[in-house]
């Protein structure tokens, strides 16, 4: 895969970056070098290598999935300026 000047200018326009012809010419070479390096990564044999989620070994902390503070609706709305049937009441905002 290679990038030409037209592609560089198109991407710059989409990114809303002003690029001169000289800058586009230089970027074309730089982007082609980066893409060439990425293509080289396809040659690496990664069979048998598990994907990493982190470079540091981590153990996910798990907790019991259960309700801990249920049944306190009256306490939740206790300081509300207006409530009804354990729901907050707010002024109507849509006509």
Condensed to tens digits (0 to 9), the pLDDT of residues 76-86 reads: 999 999 999 99
Angle at 35 between CA 33 and CA 39, to 5 degrees: 115
Which sequence spans correspond to the domains of the chain?
5-41
Residues facing 84 on adjacent strands: 87
Condensed to tens digits (0 to 9), the pLDDT of residues 30-71 reads: 999 999 999 998 899 989 888 887 778 778 888 888 877 778
In the 8-state DSSP scheme, what is residue 55?
Answer: S
**Cβ contact 4:28 at 8 Å:** yes
**3-state helix, strand and coil shares in percent for the chain, rounded to the nearest 5:** 35, 5, 60
* pLDDT attached to residue 70: 77
Average pLDDT estimate for 8-37: 94
* pLDDT attached to residue 10: 94
Assign domain 5-41 one CATH number from 1.10.20.60, 3.90.280.10, 1.10.10.10, 3.30.450.20: 1.10.20.60
* pLDDT attached to residue 67: 76
For the chain, how long is the longest CA-to-CA vector? 69
């Amino acid at each position: 895969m290679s990038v030409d000047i037209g592609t560089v200018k198109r991407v710059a326009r989409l990114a809303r970056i002003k690029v001169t012809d000289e800058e586009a010419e230089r970027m074309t070479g730089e982007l082609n070098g980066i893409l060439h390096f990425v293509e080289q990564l396809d040659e690496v044999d990664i069979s048998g290598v598990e994907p990493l989620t982190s470079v540091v070994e981590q153990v996910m902390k798990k907790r019991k999935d259960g309700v801990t503070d249920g049944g306190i609706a009256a306490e939740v709305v206790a300081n509300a300026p207006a409530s009804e049937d354990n729901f907050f009441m707010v002024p109507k905002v849509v006509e």
